[in-house]
Amino acid sequence: MSSGPTTKAKKQPKSHDQMYRCEIKKKFIEGETKVYRWTEVNVSDIPGRPKARCVHCKGAVRLHFKRQAHGTPDHCEHKLRQDSTHCEAGHYFEGVHQESLSPVE
- In the complex, the residues that contact Zn ion under the rule CB under 5 A are 54, 56-57, 59, 87
Closest CA to 59 of 27, 36, 34, 91: 91
Output 52 or 59, the one with its CB closest to Zn ion. 59
CB of 87 to Zn ion, least distance (A): 3
CB of 61 to Zn ion, least distance (A): 7
**With b meaning 16 or more CB within 10 Å and e meaning fewer, what string describes 78-105?**
bbbeebbbbbebbeebeeeeeebeeebe
Output 20 or 28, the one with its CB closest to Zn ion. 20
Output 65 or 82, the one with its CB closest to Zn ion. 82
How far CA 18 is from CA of 13, 21, 24, 79, in Å, comes to 15, 9, 17, 12
CB of 35 to Zn ion, least distance (A): 24
